[in-house]
Amino acid sequence: MPKPVFILNGPNLNLLGLRQPEIYGRETLEDVADACSALAEELGLSIRFHQSNHEGALVDWIHQARNEGSGIIINPAAYTHTSVAILDALNAFEGPVLEVHISNVHRREAFRHHSYVSLRAEGVIAGFGTEGYQLALRRMKTLVGK
Ligand code: DQA
């Protein structure tokens, strides 16, 4: 089995299911983690699933993935649009990076149309709801299997 895929989630995603359900749906982050674990098992992958409201914690997990991870799936949430630190950390990671957004950021406010993380990501999934994580995991299987 390859090293674990890190699935990283940024600020406010701990409130998934409660926060703006008309945009983000009613599933909780725990539901997403459970669905990812089940799919990972089916695909023969392992995952490490984390969420933090703090930019530095996300940077630290990306650094950890340099030695311990095969790929990174990241929903950087609001840091998508602001964080050079997360981009720099991802640039120091050698495996594949996939970016996930639950909502279709391109249909929303203009400030959500730019992503620093997209400069590094092999692929971006947006607007597929929480299913986007599972789509990303399937793609990650292809990328880390190479
Ligand atoms: C988000 C989109 C971001 O613009 C927003 O700040 C989030 C969540 C999404 O998953 O759709 O917190 O990344």
Q: Which residues are annotated as catalytic? A: 24, 101
pLDDT of 1 over the 90 cut: no
- Distance, CA 113 to ligand 1 centroid (Å)? 11
Closest Cα partner for 31 from 11, 9, 53? Answer: 9
Which residue's CA lies nearest to atom 1 of ligand 1?
77
Q: Quickly tell me which residue has 């311990």 as its tokens.
A: 68
pLDDT of 14 over the 70 cut: yes
Q: How far is residue 36's CA from residue 104's CA, in Å, rounded to a whole number?
A: 20
Which residue's CA lies nearest to atom 6 of ligand 1?
78
Which residue's CA lies nearest to atom 12 of ligand 1?
77
> Relative to the CA of 132, which ligand 1 atom is closest?
10
Query: Exposed e or buried b for every residue in 60-95, given b needs 16+ CB within 10 A?
Result: ebbeebeeebbbbbbbbbebbbebeebbebbeebeb
77 close to ligand 1 (CB < 6 Angstrom): yes
29 close to ligand 1 (CB < 6 Angstrom): no
* Mean pLDDT to the nearest integer, 113-130: 98
Q: Quickly tell me which residue has 């990812």 as its tokens.
A: 36
Domains with residue ranges and CATH for the chain: 5-109+122-144 (3.40.50.9100)
CB 15 within 8 A of CB 53: no
pLDDT of 41 over the 80 cut: yes
Q: How far is residue 141's CA from residue 14's CA, in Å, rounded to a whole number?
A: 26
Please tell me the least confidently modeled range out of 20-24, 45-49, 87-91, 126-130: 20-24
